[in-house]
Structure 1
């Protein structure tokens, strides 16, 4: 799968921009749900949901003693101990059972045979030029269906033995496609830790309740073709998930990427519930543009899951339910400070954005100031601390940047609270408000910008915030 890039607005850093040095880059963009608000320094924003959903670690197994024998017959060269070569079997081999009689794979029925999917490179889940397809069943009944499906699809299929979760992990890097015979939610939870952002992950489809659902791989990974084939031979209905087509992302992943957002809550669990057809309540009070959503997502009352899209705090966690907060990065914070200001004072004033104005600090896309403050130690220290607690810093991304502008540019921005004193000292009547508005305008890409926090100040620090409004 290929990575989906974020919105380009925040990449528009001027050549003279200064990035605040942060002491630690977080390894994720998500955090634990805080419900109605948060306290600076207390939220642990570790993004297990999305990282697990898209960048999970692969689990590789050893090479079993029966590898050469199985590969010679077109089977899966799976891992495991020589005495437990249960990764898969081919026609005529015996499937080892646990506490039940062994099951023998029936002979292939040529009249209903479907030609194997062709493609891939040698060693990449391919045997004899055809993609190896792993079949995984959650119970004995589904296993019988998997054996039947294997006979119909052809020689390059493998019916895995043992617990599904371990079998999928063991075979993940050695197969080109996977068919999971189980409920969609269970299938999503099984594959979520192993999905990565490259094209080496197998195509994945799920057979459940009369449907064949594409989970990952889409048209580019061959999952759509595989799902159509499975649906045809089993007489089921194919469901091509718009969220998984091409990129392997769910609808929620696409939504997060489109909004350049952070996530507070269990993204994988909510995505599984959505794919399972559970009613999902969606609250979008600011009117952000959304991708097409499934029919089970809307203004449903009494749903177990509620999704809130907002850059402000204050939405309570529903009673007896789960909440997923999606926080679009819409805010640009302007800063002004006296020479020699302490980092603690800057941090204290920044906290007013949350405490006094109800903004979610994870919605900050960038900081902005006058170029005179590009090397102000107290400002840089405060932003370093801020990025440690609230910054993004997931893999491949930078935390919010400090953008600086000369007085000649800032003096051209209309602001509600100009200051003659500031103008005499810096050459512009506004620093915080003007910097926030100008930087937000550069990132807006034609969208409207509004000042949501007029300048607030302490003895030595001023702060203001501008919002890039939804389209």
Structure 2
């Protein structure tokens, strides 16, 4: 975690030096500055969008005024903490669950032998925090506005039905019960289902791509969007793109991956031929590339899982999806 620390007094700076060292020893990237009010706005504007967490050593009001102009969304804002100069209290102000402020506050309090002041309702009541759990599981939250309903039901002592397309490991927390017909929580990679349910999507899909020389990123994007729509898959479920090594330097394919933030992996024809399974074979592709199918084989090999969609071809491109093995875990592991 990249953490920016800022202090305003000599005592606060000394505390920050100690805390910074402890955070770095714990594996974090931490940086500390001491500044006056005239530098606060500049520092906050620089660190708010780029750091995972900000720690203000001083008065809570200073932190509130500093970050207020930059607050956008609970899904993207960094964790914001305040520590008083005497290290008595650690208070998470922003992004307690998704941003990890509550968990970081607990860790900082332990390092300083301070008291963490956690004010979020679920934590205070010992209730399952679905957004914290989702982040720890690496799930992508499609509609964060629905978090409130799930938390409100649990806080009221009511039952929340959940539906999962994946096997479940461990015992669900109190208040959660599997219900495939009436549910407010859905763990899925498909866009179909109850639109009012909180939707959590694991990044488990690999897109396999074969393409002609000179294909553009725009053409690939259109084909990708069409296949997602046809298959009813969430874009957020896609974790990487794979192809044959002959396409390792294909400009349009590289730009498509960069634009979407997808890692790009390639395999040799020998590696692709070694993949076991029933694939859509093409003699033309075999003569051209050395393997009878690029998109399906590369998707399966890259995912380490199973083929979900057969070759979708058009405009000199082929695409297919494969899914990695996945389990929903309600354990602490």
Q: Which category of TM-score, normalised to the shorter sequence, fits these structures?
A: 0.5 to 0.7
Within the candidate set 292, 306, 314, 1:450 is matched to: 306
1:346–1:51: structure 2 CA closer, same or farther, 3 Å change rule?
Answer: closer
CA contact (8 A) 2:150 2:184 kept: no
Which has the higher Rg, Structure 1 or Structure 2? 1
Partner residue of 2:116 out of 203, 206, 211:
203
Q: Match of 1:466?
A: 322
1:150 is aligned to none
Distance 2:120 2:103 in 1: 22
1:436 aligns to what?
299
Instruction: State TM-score, norm by structure 2.
Output: 0.63
Change (3 A) 1:331 1:302: closer
Report if the CA contact (8 A) 1:338-1:460 is conserved.
Answer: yes
CA contact 2:81–2:91 (8 Å) conserved in 1:
no
The counterpart of 1:310, out of the listed 188, 192, 198, is: 188
Stretches of structure 2 lacking an aligned partner (at least 5 in a row): 4-48, 52-70, 110-114, 328-333
Query: Given that residues 279 and 293 in structure 2 are in contact (C-alpha distance below 8 angstroms), is that contact kept between their aligned partners in structure 1?
Result: no
| C-alpha distance in 2 between matches for 1:288 and 1:423 | 37
Partner of 1:41: none
CA contact (8 A) 1:336 1:370 kept: yes
Go from structure 1 to structure 2 and tell me whether the alpha carbon gap of 1:58 and 1:432 turns closer, same or farther (over 3 Å shift).
Answer: same
State the SS of the aligned residue for 1:49.
Answer: coil
Aligned match of 1:369: 243
Deviation string 1:163-198 (CA, Å, 9 cap, x unpaired) is xxxxxxxxxxxx1579xxxxxxxxx99966854746
Work out whether residues 189 and 272 of structure 1, in 8 Å CA contact, stay in contact via their aligned partners in 2.
Answer: no
1:358 to 232, 236, 241: 232
The separation in 1 between residues aligned to 2:226 and 2:251, in whole angstroms, is 21
Partner-residue secondary structure (3-state), 1:200: helix
What residue in structure 1 maps to residue 177 of structure 2? 298
Q: Please give the TM-score of this superposition, normalised by the length of structure 1.
A: 0.46
Q: Could you tell me how far apart the structure 2 residues matched to 1:190 and 1:408 are? A: 48
Aligned pair count reads 253
Q: 2:161 aligns with which of 268, 271, 282?
A: 282
Structure 1: stretches of 5+ with no match in the other structure: 4-25, 29-45, 61-77, 79-122, 126-131, 133-174, 179-187, 216-238, 244-249, 388-398, 442-448
Relative to structure 1, the CA distance from residue 376 to residue 190 in structure 2 (aligned partners, 3 Å threshold; closer, same or farther) is closer
Partner of 1:100: none
Higher helix share: 2
Question: 2:246 and 2:301 mapped to 1: Cα distance?
Answer: 16
Which of 1 and 2 has higher RCO (CA within 8 Å, sep 6+)?
A: 1
Residues 137-163 of structure 1: CA deviation (Å, up to 9, x unaligned) = xxxxxxxxxxxxxxxxxxxxxxxxxxx
Aligned to 2:204: 330
Task: Give the aligned partner of residue 264 of structure 2.
Answer: 402
Deviation per CA, 1:256-314: give whole Å up to 9, x if none: 432x22102227635642552453533324134255433322257999x8111100011
